[in-house]
Amino acid sequence: MAAASESAATGKPGVATVRPGRARDAFVFAAGVAATVLGLLAWAPGRGRVQVAFPTPGPTDGPRTFYDDPDLSYAAVGSVGSRLAGWDAKRAEWLRSRRRRNARERVVMVSGQQPEPCPGDAGDHLMLRFLKNKLDYCRLHGIQLLYNRDTLHPAMTSYWAKIPIVRAAMLAHPEAEWVWWVDSDAVFTDMDLSLPLPEYHGRNLVVYGWPKQMEKKSWLGINAGVFLIRNCQWSLDFMDEWARMGPAYPEEHARWGKVLRHALSDMNSEEACDQSALNYLLHYHRDRLGEKVHIESNYFFNGYWEGIVDRLDGVAARYEAVERRAPELRRRHAEREHLRYAAARNAAVGRAVPGPAGGGVSGWRRPLITHFVGCQPCGGGRNPMYSRESCHDGMRRALGFADDQVLRTYGFRHADLLMDSLQPLPFDYPAVPVANRSNELD
């Protein structure tokens, strides 16, 4: 029918005539659409005029950067030319070429697990929950998460695998000022607290340490399972030095095993692990590294689980008590507003609950991170000093404690930290209690 109508209008089969008025209308419409699109894409805030917006440089355009250098190697160890020089200048030039002027607060979190399925009982399920916990924290705090399951160097496996992926993350994310390594078996148990990055001004490496153990030069004095490292040349050089003590260099690795066994207390093996190597570097090279290293002990940047999990119910009760006295904290809100409410809650809790923000050996503040050292949730080969029940229940308790902080925005929480079933929260919770649960402090 359409073809027949067009033929009738022109006198020629299948040919249509566009009237001048319609052509003018079509042109005006197209021009309006184009102007609107340019306005949406290219409006420059604060300048009061429209500018043409250029797309992010892609495969065929944009200035050349360090990525175009064929000699650049992502490998941390074991290859010719793997050491990268001039990284600070290369990174600064990349930021200028991509119009990225300020990367000070950008953080990329890196974590991961072994590539094979977990042999331990329910290991894969626990790993999924640990991953969800990190995704939740990163989403709430605007952090990118790189979760790796691949071995980037065949010799750097197990606990040594973190060094190649952290180094590769620095090169792949020049826009990030910090790379934050978090072991797979570490749980974020304070979803409110952000990293106090201004306190680390002038430092390039932040690790958690126990002062008494450090005084004894123990290989347990500093834990390598969580660390924050600045994206700079100093850090690349440090990781190269750290990696040279590992199994990618077999002869040096064997020699370092003997050195570490005699230099550090409490070591009962001549196998050099990443943690003993890190402790050695920070104990015996403090004069060279000390100004750039911050050993955190003021809050649980990397809290030991055994002294934490049995206190989580008491911590939750005290936070609820604060909220019952502060109606502004009980307002329902969108998840994207989390950090504003988190700041207000931390301020109110700080005035009423003893202990440092992020938790500590004293007080009742939420610990930032609870690390299940020795429980081996994926491999199943836990340290014999811990029972299966203490590890398994402790992990479930910490994960449930963290989940409740996220579920709160959605109007739910767990019926119990060891239960998977949920309870809906009444309006104005916790001023209005959940049925069948006491809100009294222990």
Percent over 70 (pLDDT), the chain: 82
Q: Which amino acid is at 130?
A: F
Instruction: Tell whether the model's pLDDT for residue 169 goes beyond 70.
Output: yes
pLDDT of residue 340: 96
Q: Which amino acid is at 41?
A: L
Contact partners, residue 194, CB within 8 Å, separation at least 6: 141, 339, 342
pLDDT digits (tens, 9 = 90+) for 267-290: 888 899 999 999 999 999 988 998
d(Cα 264, Cα 276) in Å, to the nearest integer? 8
Mean pLDDT of all residues belonging to the chain: 85
Instruction: Tell whether the model's pLDDT for residue 28 goes beyond 80.
Output: no
pLDDT digits (tens, 9 = 90+) for 287-339: 899 899 999 999 999 999 999 999 999 999 999 999 999 999 999 999 999 99
Going across the sheet that includes 222-230, the strands are 144-148, 107-112, 178-182, 222-230, 205-209, 293-296
Q: How far is CA 109 from CA 131, 181, 208, 228, 230, in A?
A: 12, 6, 17, 9, 12
Domains of the chain, with CATH numbers? 87-296 (3.90.550.10), 303-424 (no CATH)
Q: What is the mean pLDDT of residues 224-234?
A: 97
Tokens of 216: 């004894």
Do 87 and 179 form a contact (C-beta atoms < 8 A)? no
More confident residue, 343 or 121: 343
- Torsion angle, CA of 172/176/177/182, rounded to 10 degrees? -80
Q: What is the mean pLDDT of residues 38-57?
A: 44
Do 94 and 174 form a contact (C-beta atoms < 8 A)? yes
Q: How far is CA 83 from CA 136, 171, 178, 247, in A?
A: 35, 12, 20, 17
pLDDT of residue 4: 38
Peptide bond into 430 cis (omega under 30): yes
pLDDT digits (tens, 9 = 90+) for 363-395: 999 999 999 999 999 988 888 899 989 999 999
Region of residue 374 (phi > 0: left; psi between -120 and 50: alpha; otherwise: beta) = left
Contact partners, residue 377, CB within 8 Å, separation at least 6: 118, 120, 123, 126, 127, 130, 185, 391, 395
pLDDT of residue 18: 44
pLDDT digits (tens, 9 = 90+) for 176-223: 999 999 999 999 999 999 999 999 999 999 999 998 888 899 999 999
pLDDT of residue 46: 40
Instruction: Tell whether the model's pLDDT for residue 9 goes beyond 70.
Output: no
More confident residue, 29 or 90: 90
Instruction: Tell whether the model's pLDDT for residue 13 goes beyond 50.
Output: no
More confident residue, 225 or 12: 225
Best CA proximity match to 208, nearest among 144, 140, 282: 282
Do 397 and 309 form a contact (C-beta atoms < 8 A)? yes
Phi, psi at residue 165, to the nearest 5°?
-75, -35
* Res. 35 pLDDT band, cuts 50 70 90: very low
Tokens of 322: 């604060």
Instruction: Tell whether the model's pLDDT for residue 245 goes beyond 80.
Output: yes
Percent over 90 (pLDDT), the chain: 64
pLDDT of residue 56: 60
Q: Give the CA count within 13 Å in the CB-facing half-sphere of 358.
A: 14
Instruction: Tell whether the model's pLDDT for residue 441 goes beyond 80.
Output: no
Q: What is the mean pLDDT of residues 150-176?
A: 90
pLDDT digits (tens, 9 = 90+) for 77-125: 544 346 788 999 999 999 988 876 656 689 999 999 988 999 977 899 9
